Structure 1
């Protein structure tokens, strides 16, 4: 069985992103989350992973940095990116027939460093407001 934490033999950013999103999904599944969808795209943005934690819908942004010389992966989620995630999540909820006012949901970040050896799952990383 191939170990997921090895450096991906990818040729482009999308393939590298897919590799680390799969690693994040595996890590979160091991923590008890259930996969709902991945790579939801809309005009207003993209959500890497959508999972369920008991009754809570979890919108997950996966960020990878090869090393920490230029900052942590989670620092790459800017205020602008957070707003796009919130708009995209609202659209996804509405597409599912769910109300953003009555449905429990949150935004998490999975920050990955050191070729997947260091995974930091940050719950409630983005707050509505």
Structure 2
């Protein structure tokens, strides 16, 4: 049986993916992992490749969802994105890339915050 926090995480990622697709992005991959990092969602937005971090917080006691994307977390996401780009080969080689965040305060499709360009790889 799956732990409750994992079920909530999957539900949050599904809600975020649906939100992005409603806004014209096309989902390319989910849960891309490499040693030391993970990207929750990878999507296409026109010609750009978008690496998306999904954050679910049930309360703001520790700063809310946005505050949980620390510099260390950003480095791990960037590492996984680089791994995916290398693994994907030439198909995505010269496309512009962006790092977005989808922030959820609870599993409510009316309370989704999408931050385009939440951080960069520099």
Tell whether the structures are fold-level matches, with TM greater than 0.5: yes
Q: TM-score, normalised by structure 2?
A: 0.90
2: distance between equivalents of 1:125 and 1:84?
Answer: 15
Change (3 A) 1:100 1:88: farther
Q: Which residue of the partner structure matches residue 5 of structure 1?
A: none
Mapping of residues 1-129 of structure 1, within 5 Å? 11-98=3-90, 102-116=94-108, 117-129=110-122
Query: What are the ranges of 5 or more consecutive residues in structure 2 without an aligned counterpart?
Result: none
SS at match of 2:107: helix
Measured after TM superposition, the shift of residue 70 of structure 1 is 2.6
| Number of residue-to-residue matches in the alignment | 120
Query: What are the ranges of 5 or more consecutive residues in structure 1 without an aligned counterpart?
Result: 1-9
Measured after TM superposition, the shift of residue 108 of structure 1 is 0.3
**Larger helix share, 1 or 2:** 2
